[in-house]
Structure 1
Amino acid sequence: MAPEPGGALKEQRDKKRPRLDLLFLQRFLRIQAILFPCWSSQNSLMFLTLLCVALLEQIVIYQVGVIPSQYFGVLGHRDLEGFKNLTLIAVILIITNSTLKSFDQFICNLIYVNWRKNLTEYFHRYYFGGKVYYTLNVLHKDLDNPDQRISQDVDRFCRQLSSMSSKLLIAPFTLAYYTYQCFTSTSWLGPVSIFGYFVVGTMVNKILMGPIIATLVHQEKLEGDFRFKHMQIRVNAESAAFYRAGRVEYLRTNQRLQNLLQTQRELMQKELWLYIGINTFDYLGSILSYVVIAIPVFSGVYSHIDATELSALVSKNAFVCIYLINCFSQLIDLSTTVSDVAGYTHRIGELQETLLELTQKEKDCAAEGESRWDLENVSGEPVVAVDTAFLLDRVSFSAPCCDQLLVQNLTLSVSQGNNLLIVGNTGTGKTSLLRVLAGLWENTRGNIQVLPCFGPHGILYLPQKPFFSDGTLREQVIYPLTEIYPDSGSVDDERILRFLQLTGLSSLLARTGGLDQKVEWNWYDVLSPGEMQRLSFTRLFYLQPRYAVLDEITSALTEEVESELYRACKQLGMTLISVGHRSSLEKFHDWMLKLCGGGKWELSRIKKK
C-alpha cells in the first residue's frame, strides 16, 4: 500500500522542525565564534571578569550560608560576645554579597549590549553587501522576515543568553565544590542521590522542551508577519485610504493576529507542563536534602555529640545539600530560557547560513563574469570599446521561478552617444530587462557585459518607484553618496540649488528649512508623485553619470516638464536608456527597442522629424 501524501508531508515537517540536536549545537557554536573572535577580544575579557565576580560571589554566599549554623552554636552556649561578632560579620558579608550580585548583573547587561552590537553588525555586513538584501527580500522566499531576525531575534537571543551566562559560567565550579562538601557530610549517598535526581529531571525537561522550541520558532515567524502587515499599512496608508480599505485591512490584520495568538496559546499550553516539571523538581529537591541528611543522623553517625552541636551540624549540612540541589535546580529552571535561546539560535543560524550562501554565490558570479568577459583578448586588442556601457550577446531571461521567457536571444550594444528607448506593452519585460542589466536578475542564456563603474562617471539607475532614505534635503540630492568633498562645500551648494531650480523644486528649500535641516517627516508622505520624480532628476543632475537608465521616471509629469528634464540630461552629456510609453520621448533617443512579448523583440533606428 502506498503511503499517504499527508504522512510524507508530516514526516518532512518533522525533519525540518527545530530541536536541541546536533544542528542546534553547530549553529550555536558558529554564533559564539562571532561573539568571541579571539581570547583577547573585549567580550572575552568581560566574560573572564564576570567569572571572577561570580566566583567571589559564590565564596561570599557560602560564608553567608553557614552563618545560621554558627548562630545555633553561639545561641546554644549563650555567647553574647560571639553573637555580636557573628552579627557584624554577617552584615559585612551580606553587603559584600549584594554588591557582587549587582556587579554581576551590571556586567551581564554590558555583555548583552556588546553581543548585540557585534552580532547585528556582522549580519549588516553581509546583508548590505552587494545585492544580498534585495535577493533575500525579493527573490529568496525560503527565509521569512529577515528584518525581524536581525532587529528582534538577535536582540532577544543576546538578552536571554546574557541573563543566564553567569549561572552557566559558575555552575561547574559550584557543582564541584558543593559536591565535595556534600560528600564530606553525607559520604557517597548524598551526591549520588542528588546527581541521580538531576539526571531524571534533565531527561524529563528535555522531553518537554522539544515541542516548545518548534512552536517558538513558528511564533516568531507569525510575529514577523503581523508586524509586516502593520508596516505595509504605514507605508501605503494614503493609497489604502483612497480605496476606503480600512474594513478589509482590519479583517486581514486581525486574521494574522488570531493566527499569532493561537500559536501563543499553544506555546503556553506546552510550557505549562514544563513549568509543572520545574516546580515539582524544585520542591521535591528541598525535601530530598533533608532525607539525605537524615540517613547518617538516624544511622548513629552523630550519636556522640550533644543536641546543640547536632543542630549546628545539621544546619550546615542542610545548607550544603540544599545549595547543591539548588545549583541543579537553577539549571533546570533555565529550561524555558534555554528553549528560547534554542529557538532564536535556529532562526539566527538559518539567517547566517543563507547570508553566507548568497554572499558566496555573488562572489562566484562575479568571478565567473570576470573570467567570461575580459576587456582584452589574447592578442591584446580590446574586445569591447571602452565607451560601451552594455553589451548583450544572445541574452534570454525570464522572471524568477518562472520558465516562460520574457525576452529571447537579445543582442544589443549601447555605447556613449547612442540613446536607447525601450517600449512595449505591459508585461513584455521592459523593467525586467533593466533588472537583468543591473544584475538584480540572472539571465538564463547568453552573455552580458556592463560597465563596472556605478554612479558619477559611470551608470546610474533611476527606478520606477523613487527611493528616499532618511536624512536632510542635501542627503537626498547627493544619495547614494554619503558626504561632500570638504574643499568644495560652497560649490556643491551652488550646484544643488541650481539643479533644484532646474527641476522646479526651489520651494522645497523653504519647506525643509534649508539643505542641512533635519526633518522628522517621511519623504513619501510630504512629496507628491511628481515632486518625487523631480527630486530624482535633481539627484541625477547632481551625480551627472555618463549613462542614465530611466524606468518610466516621468510618468507623473507633463510632457512639457518631461522635455525640459530630458533636454537637461542631454546638455549634461548623459547617454540615456529609457523605458517609457510616450511618443514624445522619441526625439531624445536614437534607437528604439520594442519588446513584443513571447520572447520577441525589434530594434530600429528612430527617424528624426
Structure 2
Amino acid sequence: MSFWNLRTTIGRKWLMIKLRSINASSDSNEVFKFKSVCYETPISPSKALMTNLSFTLKKGENLLVSGYSGSGKSAFLRIITRLWKTKSGTLTLGFLDNDVLVIPQKPYFPTGNLTLRQQIIFPKLIDDRNVSDKEMLEFITDLHLDTKFRSGWEGLLIMYAADFILILVNLIFVKPIGNWINTLEKSEGWFRYKHCTIRDNAESAAMYDASKFEKKECMRLIDKIMIQNVWLGCWELVQQSGTLRRVHEFLEFADNNWKEVADYEAEMDQSVKFCSDDNEVFKFDSVCYETPISPSKVLMTNLNFILKKGENLLVSGYSGSGKSAFLRIISRLWKIKSGILTIGISNHEILVIPQKPYFPTGNLTLRQQIIFPKLIDDRNVSDKEMLEFITDLHLDTVLKKCCGLNTPVDFEWHERFTPAELQQMSFMRVLYHQPKLVLMDDVSSCCSASVEQRLYELLDGLGISYISAGNRVSLRAFHHKELKLHGDGTYEVVDLRDDPLV
C-alpha cells in the first residue's frame, strides 16, 4: 500500500469514529441537541468531564458556558466543533461545518507577509464574498481600530512627540531612579559582603579583639542604606520585613544562649589569673586543654612552663599538634580544661597576628588598616611615621596601590596583594601599636628569609616580646626558648641559647 493510500484509509477510519456519535438534524428549530452524552479528555481518559449531558439549544437562543478553570468550558466547544469525540450518547447538530466559525481562546494570526485584508478573511484563501474596501473600513471603524491606519504628517508628528516625551521622562525620572537603585544595590551588596567576611574570618577578628571596629563598620553601612531608603518609607519596611524577622530570631537565640556564654566566661575567669609579677610573662601550672569542637582530642595534658619577661618563645610541632591552640589559650579564645594559667600582661598590651591575615572590607584607607582594630588613631601617629613603617618593611608598592595613606579604596585586600605582602602589612600593625607582647601564628611563612630577619630585628629594636608559632628552622635564631608540641598531650622545652646549632 502506498503512502497516500495509507493516509486516505487512516483518514476515513478517523472520520468514521468521529461521526459515529454525531447526527445531522432535519429540525430547523434546533442548533444542537445532546442526548445522554459523556465525554472525557483525550490525554487523560480517566478524567470524565461530562457523564450524562442532555440538552437542546433552539435557534435564536444564545448560550453561555461557565465554570471554574479546568471544568470543561473549552472542551464543550471542542465537542460541538468535532475536535473531540464523545465517549457515549448522541450529539445532533442542526448546522453544517461551513456555517460555524470558531474564535479560539488563543488568538491566531498566521505569519508570512500577509495583508490586513487577508487576516480578516482568514481562513479563506480568497474573498468569495467580494467585500469592498469601504465595507472593510466600516468593520474597522465599528471596532474603534482606526488608530492603526493613521498615516502622513499626523502619524509622524505623534511618533516624534511620543519619543520626545519618553526622552524627557527618562531624563527627569528614570535616570535618577536608576542611579539611586544602582547606589542602593551596591550599598546592600557591601553590607551583605561585610557580614560574610566577618563570618569567614571570625577567629582572626576575635584574635584582634575587633568587635567594636566591626560593629561600627556594620552600623555605618546599614545607616548608609537606611538614608538612601528614607523616602520609600513604609514600603521599604515591608521590603525589609524578612530581614527584621531574622534579626528578631537572632536576638531570641542570643537571649536564650546568653547564660551559656556567661557560664563559659565565668569558667575562663576561674582558670586564668592576672599577676603583677614584673618577671613573668605567663605561667602554666598543670594546664590541660582540648579542642572545643572535639573534646575527646586532648592537645595538652599537664603543661608546666614559665616564660620570663625579656624571653621570646618559639612554639613548634607538626600540623595539628596544637601550635595555634596554644596561642588561642593565651589570648583567652579557648578555655582550659584544668590547671591555672597566670598572665603577667594585661589584654590591651597583647597583640595577636593570626595565621590567616585579616583585612576588613568597606572602603577603608591604608591608615585605617594599619591602626586596626582601633577606631581612631589615639596615638596621633603622623603620616611621616606611618611612611617610615612602610619603608622599613619595603612596602612602597602597597602604598602606591592604595593611592596613599588616606585614600579609601573599594578593592578586596586579599585579592589585590600577595600573601607575603599581606603578612608584612599585618606586621605594620605591630609597629603602630607597639604592644608589650605580640603573638604571631606563622606570620612569616610566605616571606623570604631576609624579610623574616628584618621583621624580627624591628621587634628587637622596639623591645617587644614575642611568641611565634611555626616550623621554620630559621625561626630558632630569633628566640630564646622552644616549646615542642608532640600532638599527643606531651611537650618538650628547649633552651635555644644553649643550642650550638642556633
**TM-score, structure 2 length as denominator?**
0.49
**TM-score, structure 1 length as denominator?**
0.41
Q: Which has the higher contact order (CA 8 A, sep 6+)?
A: 1
* Greater share of helix: 1
* Greater share of strand: 2
